[in-house]
Amino acid sequence: MERVALYKELSLETVDLRKLFEEVITKKLTGYFKISYWNLDDYILYAEGQPIWGVSIDRDGSINNLDVENYKPKSNAGTVSFYEVPLINLITFRDQQRTPPSPYNFVSYGHEFLTCIKFSHVNISRLMELIKRSHLDGYLVLCSRRGFTHMIMFQKGLAICSYHDNTYTIGTRQRISIDKDGDCIAVYATEPELPLFLSSMNTLKKEIEDTFRSNEELGIVRKEVSDRKLSAILDVHLQKGGRMYEFFYKGTFLLRLAHMMDQIENGSLEISPGTKNTFFLYSLQVRETFPAMEVEFYTQEPSPFESTYVEEEKVRWIRSYFIEEIGPIGALLWSKILKEKGYSERQMRE
């Protein structure tokens, strides 16, 4: 599912931004606002009508978090757009700076075998059987508003690796707990080599970290990979934003992926001459064969304690008291703590 522009480049002089926020909340939409000024772009992400994260990106690529609960336009000299995207793409957007890379860095890449959908709407046993019959090379991913929760890699339709909580599971039966009403699921078909790389990322070893100012300088790194016949991932961070990955198998180039905002595509990003960019070269031991593993999904009903939220008015009162006690940095700390815990002021568990 591609992003859909609900509103596009409306002038901040003529629209009531607060009313647009209220509409997204009322309709429980999933997507993000892009609020553009001459020198930067602000992004505010909503999952089913709940703000989950905000970031400000300067034209030079500098990144600063936003207080999404109390956002106010920096000026009227700008535009606002709102794009609807699947929850998985939203989490991909929020987590794109994850370093060192994990399998989650590549979520949303590939052909949609199953578009992002609530787990409650899927017959999982039939889906797993269809994956097997289709001899799928690719991966299945689960996520909630808090972020990605689980990934399963497939080779020729058979599950070969499970990734969860920074742990890679291979060759043993795997039971996965699901929140049927809160979790979303998607399946992507990819090149046969990609799930093998993702399943082998527990062997990542950082070889080089350095800066470069041109594609020619980056070419020297690629030549080293070729000369050493490395299986490797070249992770490129561009000064003006964006991230690019290149995969090599025993020194041979395989695949290039570009990560821009809410999606990852098969392609490259322009390297502006003279800009100071950063790269990380990771080697890894890519396994060519994996034992098939059995995967079982099960649900757990939330306890009354887990499903009870604090009244929003009470949370705002606590926030006010917290900021008063802490001082000028109180608002920043409050937002940081809520982000780390995966909460919002509208959804804070007792």
CB atoms within 10 A of CB 16: 9
Tokens of residue 182, six digits = 């809160």
Cβ atoms of 288 and 261 closer than 8 Å: no
Ranges assigned E (strand) in the chain: 4-11, 31-36, 40-47, 50-58, 63-65, 79-84, 111-118, 138-144, 147-155, 158-164, 167-169, 174-178, 184-189, 205-212, 232-237, 243-249, 252-260, 263-266, 277-283, 295-299
Distances (CA, A) of 223 to 46, 252, 261: 43, 10, 29
Q: Are strands 184-189 and 31-36 parallel, antiparallel or unpaired?
A: unpaired
Q: Report whether 31 contacts 84 (CB < 8 A).
A: yes
Q: Identify the pLDDT of residue 350.
A: 66
CA distance 265 to 244: 10
Q: What are the residues whose beta carbons fall under 8 Å from the beta carbon of 225, sequence distance 6 or more? A: 232, 234, 248, 251, 281
Weakest mean pLDDT among 7-16, 90-99, 128-137, 216-225: 90-99
Print burial letters for 320-342: b (CB count within 10 Å at least 16), e (below 16): eeebeeeeeebbeebbeebbeee
Q: Both tokens of residue 301?
A: 């009903």
State the chain's mean pLDDT as an integer: 90
> Is residue 276 pLDDT above 80, yes or no?
yes
* Residue 183 to residue 297: CA distance in whole angstroms: 12
Note the pLDDT tens digit of each residue in 325-335: 887 787 888 88
Amino acid identity at 318: I
In 3D space, the residue among 213, 54, 190 whose CA is nearest the CA of residue 111 turns out to be 190
For residues 161 and 152, the answer to whether their CB atoms sit within 8 Å is yes
Q: What is the pLDDT of residue 347?
A: 67
- The dihedrals phi and psi of 305, each to the nearest 5 degrees, come to -60, -45
Pairing type for strands 232-237 and 31-36 reads: unpaired
| Amino acid making up residue 109 | Y
The string of pLDDT tens digits covering residues 125-158 is 999 999 999 999 999 999 998 899 999 999 999 9
**Given pLDDT bands bounded at 50, 70 and 90, which one contains residue 299?**
confident
Cβ partners under 8 Å of residue 110, min gap 6: 138, 139, 188, 189, 190, 194
Say what the pLDDT of residue 62 is: 82
- Return d(Cα 185, Cα 182) in angstroms, integer: 10
Percent over 90 (pLDDT), the chain: 67
From 66-70, 84-88, 204-208, the region with the lowest mean pLDDT = 66-70
Please answer whether residues 306 and 215 qualify as being in contact, where contact means their C-beta atoms are separated by less than 8 angstroms.
no
3-state secondary structure of 64: strand
